[in-house]
Amino acid sequence: MFLITFGDDWTLGSGVWYKPGMPKIVYENKEPHYDDSWRIIVRDYLGCQDNHINFATSQSSNQRQFALAKDYFNSKKFYDKRRDEIIVLWGLTTTRRDYKWCSDSRKYEDIIFKEKYLDRNNKDKLGYGLNKWSHHDDVATKELETEIVHWNIFFKALGIKNYWFDSFNSKKYTIRPSNFFDIRSKNRDLLSLLCIDHAMNKREYYEGWAGGPMNYALNNRIVNPHTFVPKKEGHEVIAKYIIEKIS
């Protein structure tokens, strides 16, 4: 068994080391470790301790993950692994990011879309321009759907089991692939999963949160207050959910 993971911070496990009350300066200077992240829990459940490749990166765009996937699945390294049973878990992130080659750094970088920018920051300028003149949620979602269909065909042809999920916002897809976790649910993303789990344990009404799932998560300390990603307890909930889905 071989496990491959794609996504952003919610798959990588950023911030899983946060402790309640930890000051931001301490949090930011803490040595990152991912042993308590859901992907490591799932890895260990599958018995893939020595057979796991993670491509998820902090604040990654979907475009970056698709580019990394193309590089890997076109490589000799992948073809040497083709005899193994492979599972791919792919977390889709916000469409308000992109992946562009930048002339100042002379490399590809993730670009976060901005409502305003500082003149001295070229990435912010690019993010502002993309947001203002080159982004529409419906178009971006349609592009995601094209990638989902393409990769489903690719993985099926190679006999690879692959699964999709939304990381922290549920998009309005027009397709319903059976290997997309809870695709017919309005609140299918991992953030909503944590909010619903918390609300059910507290016997609260959890649909239609005032201000949205992220506000609910922050108000109820479900995510860490510094980078808005799951705490250790949240990763345990996510791991249980994913294990049930793929078992």
| pTM, to two decimals | 0.93
Residues 6+ apart with CB under 8 A from 60: 7, 8, 9, 93, 97, 110
Write down the pLDDT at residue 217.
92
Average pLDDT, integer, range 85-91: 96
Average pLDDT, integer, range 218-226: 93
Q: Using H for helix, E for strand and C for coil, what is the string for the chain?
A: CEEEEECCHHHHCCCCCCCCCCCHHHHHCCCCCCCCCHHHHHHHHHCCCCCEEECCCCCCCHHHHHHHHHHHHCCHHHHCCCCCCEEEEEEECCCCEEEEEECCCCEEEEEECCCCCCCCCHHHHHHHHHHHHCCCHHHHHHHHHHHHHHHHHHHHHCCCEEEEEECCCCCCCCCCCCCECCCCCCCCCHHHHHHHHHHHHCCCCCCCCCCCHHHHHHHCCCECCCCCCECHHHHHHHHHHHHHHHC
Per-residue pLDDT for 210 more than 80?
Answer: no
Write down the pLDDT at residue 225.
94
Average pLDDT, integer, range 9-18: 97
What is the pLDDT confidence band of residue 191, given thresholds at 50, 70 and 90? Answer: very high
C-alpha 58, offset from chain centre: 9
Write down the pLDDT at residue 199.
86
Per-residue pLDDT for 116 more than 90?
Answer: no
Q: Which of 22-26, 76-80, 147-151, 239-243 has the lowest mean pLDDT?
A: 76-80
Averaged pLDDT of the chain: 92
Q: Which domains does the chain have, with CATH numbers?
A: 2-95+136-185+229-246 (3.40.50.1110), 102-134 (no CATH)
